[in-house]
């Protein structure tokens, strides 16, 4: 089409002025506010779901041995006879002050049960996420540069297959290959002695990390490949070529920075995915993290533990979303600086 379409140019931005001048602060404020509201609603949902729906906490604790007298006793212990609002308030203030109550399973403080698991899971997510991100971005960029070669075709077919595999299948396959049937190189389960943390025995981390990396790399790779191809086929890259710039400069100075911004979004999504992915991977490898803790708590109907872990995961979601948005904003001068 030869003429620019007019209507777009006639629609000026409707953002307020302050936000235009401080886009990062504005984004922080908006995202932070939305995040807090989301967290509040999540906490309400978790609380109401676990406390009010049929099979309430007291019943959950006692299971089929429940008698009215025992239910009453538990309810008194948990302040369940108070109003919903009071209960929510005492729970949420407990969570916020680091005192989220006691486990139904063994009466220990929930926090002391969850804290070491949280550290282990954080290590797992951080290592897997870092390796997966770097690997995915590099492979994706490389596939884009080698578009339509055997490397590109191979990686895209492998990625297509791997994205569809359930995590436990990947994990079991790794166990079969490296620890039981074929080879005996690595431990099949990551039993970490109580009181020590995941990094104390690095070999225990290898298979869980490998599983998570295998699961996230294809997503990041595909997105990076697409973003990179789009950048490589853009007018400004064509222009850079027509100026006689060297290929490495065209690739790394002109195309790559423009491909990073969309890739960041998918990296963020994959960190979020890891927060759910650890549930199954930790279960397979008996890795003592919050994922395994959640599965155990669900089996035991240990409501306070479930509540705390779910709220932690939701907070992680909000945090990653904010970080992703800010990094994506920093990567784009157009959005960062305004006109």
Partner 1 sequence: MTAVDAPPSTSVEVEDLQIRLAGGADVVDEVSFRVRPGEILGLVGESGSGKTTVALALLGYARRGLRITGGHIRVGGRDLVGLGEGELRAVRGAEVAYVPQDPAAALNPTLRIGHQMREALAAHPDAADDPEARIAQVLVDARLDLDSGILRKYPHQLSGGQQQRVAIAMAFACRSSVIVLDEPTTGLDVSTQRHVLETVRNLCRSYGVAAVYVSHDLAVVSGLVSQVAVMYAGRVIELGPTERVFADPVHPYTQGLLAAVPTPERAETLIGVPGHPPRPGHRPSGCSFAPRCPYAEDRCRAQNPPPVQVDGRLVRCVRASQTAGATPRGGQVVAPPAVRTETLLQVHGLDARYGRFAVLRHVDLRVAPETCTAVVGESGSGKTTLARCIVGLHANWSGQMRFEGTDLAPGARRRDKEVLERIQYVFQNPYTSLNPRKTIRQIVAQPLAHFRALGARETDERVVTALGEVSLGADFADRYPDQLSGGERQRVAIARALVVEPTLLVCDEVTSALDVSVQAVIVELLRRLQHERHLTMLFITHNLALVRSIAQEAVVLCDGRVVESGPVEEIMERPADPYTVRLIQDVPKLAHRVGAGSGGASPWSP
Partner 2 sequence: MTSVLVPDSPSPAPAAVRTRRRRGSSTLARAARTRRGAIGLALVGIVVAIAVIGPFVAPYSPTAFVTSPFAAPSGSTLLGGDVLGRDVLSRVLAGGWLLLVMASAATVFGVVVGAAAGISAAYLRGSTDGLIMRSVDVILAFPSLVFVLLLVSIVGPKLWLITIAVGFVQAPPVARVLRSATLDLSERDYVKAVELQGMRPAKVMSSELLPNLVSPLMVELGLRLTYSIVIMAGLAFLGFGQPPPAPNWGYMIQENRIGLSSNPWAVIVPAALISVLTVGANTFTDAIARVVIGVERQGDDATLASTLGLGNLP
With contacts defined by CB under 8 A, name the span among 44-52, 79-87, 193-201, 330-338 that binds partner 1.
330-338
Which residues on adjacent β-strands are paired with residue 102? Answer: 109
- The conformation of residue 109, written as its DSSP 8-state character, comes to B
Query: Minimal distance in Å, beta carbon 320 to partner 2?
Result: 10
- Tokens representing 312? 């932690």
**Min separation Cβ 207 and partner 1, Å:** 39
Which of 38, 163, 234, 286 is close enough to bind partner 1 by CB under 8 A?
234
The least distance separating partner 2 from the CB of residue 339, rounded to whole angstroms, comes to 22
| Binding residues for partner 1 restricted to 10-49, rule: CB under 8 A | 10-14
C-alpha span between 263 and 142 (Å, rounded): 14
Q: 252: closest CA among 138, 333, 151, 337?
A: 138
SS3 102: strand
Per the CB < 8 A criterion, the answer to whether 43 and 311 are in contact is: yes
**Which of the listed partners (partner 1, partner 2, none) does 102 bind, with a CB threshold of 5 to 8 Å by partner kind?**
none
What's phi and psi for 109, nearest 5 deg?
-65, 130
Decide if residue 235 touches partner 1 (CB under 8 A).
yes
Are 200 and 192 in contact, with CB atoms under 8 Å apart? yes
Convert residues 242-281 into a mask of x (bound to partner 1 by CB under 8 A) and - (unbound): xxxxxx-x---xx--xx-----------------------
How many C-alpha atoms does 28 have within 13 Å on its Cβ side? 7
Distances (CA, A) of 261 to 32, 187, 251, 276, 325: 21, 39, 15, 24, 10
**CA 219 vs CA 115, 125, 158, 211: distances in Å:** 30, 16, 11, 14
Report what 5 binds from partner 2, partner 1, none; CB cut-off 5-8 Å by kind: partner 1
* Closest distance of CB 139 from partner 1, Å: 22
| Cβ–Cβ < 8 Å for 132, 220 | yes
- The residues, any chain, with a CB within 8 Å of residue 149's CB and separated by 6 or more, are none
Q: Which of residues 258-297 bind partner 2 (CB under 8 A)?
A: 262, 265-266, 269-270, 272-273, 275-277, 279-280, 283, 294-295, 297
Q: Which residues bind partner 1 (CB under 8 A)?
A: 1-7, 9-14, 233-236, 238-247, 249, 253-254, 257-258, 331-334, 337, 339
Q: Which residues bind partner 2 (CB under 8 A)?
A: 1-2, 34, 37-39, 41-42, 45-46, 49-50, 53-55, 60, 148, 160-161, 163-169, 172-173, 175-176, 180-181, 188, 219, 222-223, 225-227, 229-230, 233, 235, 262, 265-266, 269-270, 272-273, 275-277, 279-280, 283, 294-295, 297-299, 301, 303, 306, 309-310, 313-314, 317-318
């Amino acid at each position: 089409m030869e003429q620019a379409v007019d209507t777009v140019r006639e629609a000026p931005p409707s953002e307020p002025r302050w936000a235009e001048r401080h886009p990062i602060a504005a984004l922080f404020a908006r995202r932070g506010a939305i995040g807090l509201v989301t967290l509040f609603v999540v906490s309400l949902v978790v609380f109401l779901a676990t406390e009010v729906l049929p099979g309430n906490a007291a019943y959950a604790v006692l299971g089929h041995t429940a008698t009215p007298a025992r239910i009453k006793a538990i309810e008194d212990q948990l302040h369940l006879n108070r109003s919903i609002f009071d209960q929510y308030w005492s729970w949420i203030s407990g969570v916020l002050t680091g005192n989220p109550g006691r486990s139904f399973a063994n009466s220990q403080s929930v926090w002391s049960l969850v804290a070491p698991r949280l550290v282990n899971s954080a290590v797992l997510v951080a290592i897997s996420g870092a390796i997966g991100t770097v690997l995915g971005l590099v492979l994706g960029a490389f596939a884009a540069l080698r578009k339509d070669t055997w490397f590109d075709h191979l990686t895209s077919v492998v990625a297509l297959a791997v994205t569809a595999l359930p995590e436990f299948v990947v994990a079991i396959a790794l166990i079969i290959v490296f620890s039981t049937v074929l080879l005996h190189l690595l431990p099949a389960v990551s039993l970490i002695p109580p009181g020590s943390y995941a990094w104390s025995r690095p070999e225990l981390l290898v298979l869980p990390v490998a599983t998570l990396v295998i699961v996230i790399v294809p997503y990041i790779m595909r997105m990076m490949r697409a973003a990179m191809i789009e950048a490589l086929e853009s007018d400004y890259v064509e222009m850079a070529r027509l100026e006689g710039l060297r290929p490495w400069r065209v690739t790394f100075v002109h195309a790559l920075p423009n491909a990073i911004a969309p890739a960041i979004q998918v990296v963020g999504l994959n960190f979020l995915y890891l927060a759910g992915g650890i549930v199954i991977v930790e279960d397979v490898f008996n890795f003592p993290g919050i994922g395994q803790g959640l599965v155990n708590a669900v089996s035991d109907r240990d409501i306070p533990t479930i509540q705390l872990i779910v709220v932690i995961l939701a907070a992680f979601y909000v945090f990653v979303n904010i970080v992703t948005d800010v990094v994506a904003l920093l990567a784009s001068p157009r959005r960062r600086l305004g006109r």
